[in-house]
Amino acid sequence: MAFVPLWFILIAVLWTGFFVLEGFDLGVGMLHGFVGKDEAERRAAMSTIGPLWDGNEVWLIVAVGATFAAFPDWYATMFSSFYLLVVIALVALILRGVSFEYREKRQSPRWRRTWTWLLAIASLLVPLVIGIWLGDLLAGVPIDASHTFTGNFGDLLQPYAIFTGVALAGLCLLHGGTFLALKTEGMVRLRSARLARLAAPVSVLLVLAFICWTHVIADRGALLNPVEFLVFIGALAAGLLAFDRHEGWAFTATTVVMGLAIVTIFVDLYPRVMVSSTNLAYSLTARGAAAPPYSLKVTTVAALVLLPFVLAYQAWTYYVFRRRISDRDFRPPPARPRSYTAVGAAAPGQGPAGSHRRGGRLARAWRTGRS
């Protein structure tokens, strides 16, 4: 069926879109407390993603919904296997949303500091946990012949899956740093560029190790496939550009690397959708887990009709909120100096005679008071 590979590609694109767009959101969430030294600077950093973060998370929702519609067996096995990972990811996503909303509800420094740290921790957990989730798809989990998960939570925490999560979290950190340097002004911009420069070597090494390990896990031969090779070259370019503080090109490079890193997982996974570590013969394949042809046809028509509107709306949102943001926008205006009229000075519209009379009255009152 031609619809099966089409929907596998579409789901890979949706996961890629989520990490490309939400990746810099997550990086900003991790970094905003470090690039902002006071409340105005932290608010400036958060405002770079304020109008965007909730729309970017829609890509994850659509990816899960598309999996349910096109590959119901994959959806059932995956979510029953990764139940605890899904719960942790959902809690982290909820905490991020609540942090944005609740942080400004009170002026207390302790209150805001608490939500700052919660936002940073939740932003780190999301790529880490979802990275473990995607890594387990390729590395394999205990699945029997009936496609039932037979392991426990410890079986999901295998070395390759954990490293995938760490690599994606590190890449989000670099992605967010380059985005902040591109979208802010003043000291926030300088600190963001400095942090991106510091994070670049570590993030690049993590990505290179991730690509090599993925190639070994997938067992695709001695040479890297074209996508893996492009990730390898892109990671080196992203590190050099971030180190030299070429903000626009560095952000473009991290965007490409993030997207291709997710594509690599799905390219090496296909034609399987979930590998069984119990027996490779029990692995779920795209054709075996797909919905009936009529269902795929109907969902394909619906996707072709609705997807262009979603993409157009999101492109318009990014265009509207494209300007740089400065911490000056969040600082209170300077207090205006108060004007005082000296004793004995002429009041507005009053001549010297009036001033003389008023000065005389004040002098007589003062003498009367003394006596």
pLDDT in tens, 112-131: 899 999 999 999 999 999 99
pLDDT in tens, 55-91: 888 899 999 999 999 999 999 999 999 999 999 999 9
pLDDT score of 361 more than 80? no
Taking the C-alpha atoms of residue 195 and residue 192, their distance in angstroms, rounded to an integer, is 5
pLDDT score of 360 more than 70? no
Residue in 169, 191, 179, 180 with CA at minimum distance from that of residue 124:
169
CB 72 within 8 A of CB 291: yes
Phi, then psi, of 52 in degrees rounded to 5: -115, -30
pLDDT score of 163 more than 90? yes
3-state secondary structure 74-141: HHHHHHHHCHHHHHHHHHHHHHHHHHHHHHHHCCCHHHHHHHHHHHHHHHHHHHHHHHHHHHHHHHCE
Quickly state the pLDDT bin for 262 (edges 50, 70, 90).
very high
pLDDT of residue 174: 94
pLDDT of residue 344: 47
> What's the mean pLDDT when you consider all of the chain?
86
Quickly state the pLDDT bin for 338 (edges 50, 70, 90).
low
pLDDT of residue 335: 65
pLDDT score of 345 more than 80? no
Taking the C-alpha atoms of residue 238 and residue 323, their distance in angstroms, rounded to an integer, is 23
267 compared with 361, residue with greater pLDDT: 267
For residue 325, list its beta bridge partners. 184
213 compared with 243, residue with greater pLDDT: 213
Determine the Cα angle at 178 with ends 177 and 181, to 5°: 90
pLDDT score of 179 more than 90? yes
CB 362 within 8 A of CB 343: yes
pLDDT score of 371 more than 90? no
pLDDT score of 336 more than 50? yes
Over pLDDT 70: what percentage of the chain? Answer: 89
Phi, then psi, of 296 in degrees rounded to 5: -65, -35
pLDDT score of 184 more than 70? yes
CB 262 within 8 A of CB 134: yes
pLDDT of residue 333: 75
Over pLDDT 90: what percentage of the chain? Answer: 58
Give me the mean pLDDT over the 43-53 stretch: 89
Quickly state the pLDDT bin for 323 (edges 50, 70, 90).
confident
Quickly state the pLDDT bin for 364 (edges 50, 70, 90).
very low
Residue in 123, 143, 131 with CA at minimum distance from that of residue 76:
143
pLDDT score of 282 more than 50? yes
pLDDT score of 368 more than 50? no
Which of 15-19, 41-45, 218-222, 296-300 is the most confident on average? 15-19
Residue in 313, 325, 318 with CA at minimum distance from that of residue 255:
318
Quickly state the pLDDT bin for 340 (edges 50, 70, 90).
low
Taking the C-alpha atoms of residue 47 and residue 199, their distance in angstroms, rounded to an integer, is 22
